[in-house]
Structure 1
Amino acid sequence: MARLKDEAVALLVDVVSSRTGDREALHEAVLDAVRATNDSVAATDPLRITVGDELQGVYATLGDALAASYTLRLRLAPRWDVRFGIGGGEVRTIDEERNLQDGSAWWLAREAIEWVEEEAARKGHASARTAIRDERPVAVGQADALARLVDERLGSLRPATVGTMSGLWEGLDNAAIAEREGISESANSQRVITNGLRPLNDAMHALATLP
């Protein structure tokens, strides 16, 4: 008999254009990013690789699912790109031994990730990487649009700036980020200011608090 879980948020992840390039390097990068994400973001069911290049995880809140998506994305960027479908609803475990799940959260997450793929192909919407479909009573209607604004800003960052943004997201100070990036503190500070990274970081962390 299927076991009904409390309402939860399902996260589906798909690697963009994953069939091209160095497959071994991609696999190692994904494993590293998954480990980092699971270490830093609490999950009901931790993020894991499923079939092919798809990943999935279950979170108690939309904020946690978004935090996981940002952590994973920044760990893989700029070399690898990912898209996310997030669904809020019911999650049923239909096979505990194999951790097979079903329920409206998964159906909505699938609908969301398919929408993202179609939306990104539309002129003027190439930055779309995240969609949210949430039917829970606590759902925040504006979350989907706000997440796509973050997508647009993250997608516009130059490759050299991604590392600085990742450091900010992780909560590192300017000196630690500069050392990791191999640049001076003043150069890193200039990156932050020139690219408006602090407001972006603030917005991402605000979205990570959503119920």
Structure 2
Amino acid sequence: MSRMKDLSAALLVDVVESRSADRGALHTAVLAAVEATNVAVAGTHPLHPTVGDELQGVYPTLGAALAASYSLRLELAPRWDVRFGIGGGEVLIVDAARGIQDGSAWWNAREAIDWVKEHSQRKGHESARTAIRDGRPTATPSADALARLVDAHLARLRDGAVGTLRGMLKGLDNAAIAAAEGISESANSQRVLNNDLRPLLDAMEALGSLL
């Protein structure tokens, strides 16, 4: 068993209501979204499917794990919904050949995603999709609650606004996003204004910069 040199952020992902989904279409979409996310956000151990509809990845910072979660969520939206558990701590390599890991980062990530599954069933908290349990000295305690403010805003976006935000997160300009969405530049600008996408993007990028 080996120990990673630095403390890390482990990311657990699962698909909401996956058992009732078109399994073939879901699998294809997840693989494409994972590939796009791994290009957009570098992981210590890149995001990958494991058992069933669960995915795992390890990132050098909490911000990188959050950035990966936003990339994956927007790549899959609006058809597929996902939830995330992020754990800060130690990652132990149990079996490098088989990719088996353990450690406090994974225990915390499991606790976090279990919390999301349970808490999102509560009235008034249905939009919860992200939880953070960070045991590192560099932890930002407010990140957990702030991530769910982003969740709440994302949950209220219509399909078109999701597409526009996806382009903004990739750094595309208004013209490029409008072309990708098949709408006029003016219409895309209205999406940005009417859905408060700029402050939402600011919040996502700020969380994505956390240590």
Question: What TM bracket, shorter-length normalisation?
Answer: over 0.9
Report the equivalent of 1:66: 66
CA distance in 2, matches of 1:21, 1:206: 33
Report the equivalent of 2:2: 3
**Which consecutive segments of 4 or more residues in structure 1 shift more than 4 A?**
none
Q: Deviations over 1:156-196 (max 9, x none)?
A: 10112110011111110000000000000000000000110
Report the equivalent of 1:129: 129
Report the equivalent of 1:195: 195
Q: Deviations over 1:27-86 (max 9, x none)?
A: 000000000000110100000000000000000000000000000000000000000000
CA distance in 1, matches of 2:9, 2:161: 30
Q: How does 1:27-106 map to 2 (within 5 A)?
A: 27-106=27-106
Report the equivalent of 1:23: 23
Q: Does the residue aligned with 1:9 lie in a helix, a strand or coil?
A: strand
CA distance in 2, matches of 1:42, 1:53: 22
| 2:161 is equivalent to residue 161 of structure 1 | yes
Q: Does the residue aligned with 2:161 lie in a helix, a strand or coil?
A: helix
CA distance in 2, matches of 1:47, 1:18: 19
Report the equivalent of 2:179: 179
CA distance in 2, matches of 1:147, 1:62: 11
Displacement of 1:21: 2.6
Displacement of 1:94: 0.5
TM-score by length of 2: 0.99
Look up the equivalent residue of 1:3 and give its one-letter code.
S
Report the equivalent of 2:114: 114
CA distance in 2, matches of 1:122, 1:160: 28
Over the aligned positions, Cα root-mean-square deviation in angstroms equals 0.5
TM-score by length of 1: 0.99
Q: Does the residue aligned with 1:189 lie in a helix, a strand or coil?
A: helix
Of all paired residues, the percent bearing the same amino acid is 69
Gaps of 5+ in 2: none
Q: Does the residue aligned with 1:19 lie in a helix, a strand or coil?
A: helix
Report the equivalent of 2:147: 147
CA distance in 2, matches of 1:123, 1:54: 26
Report the equivalent of 2:13: 13
CA distance in 2, matches of 1:179, 1:119: 39
Look up the equivalent residue of 2:26 and give its one-letter code.
L
Q: Does the residue aligned with 1:56 lie in a helix, a strand or coil?
A: strand
Look up the equivalent residue of 1:75 and give its one-letter code.
E
Q: Does the residue aligned with 1:97 lie in a helix, a strand or coil?
A: coil
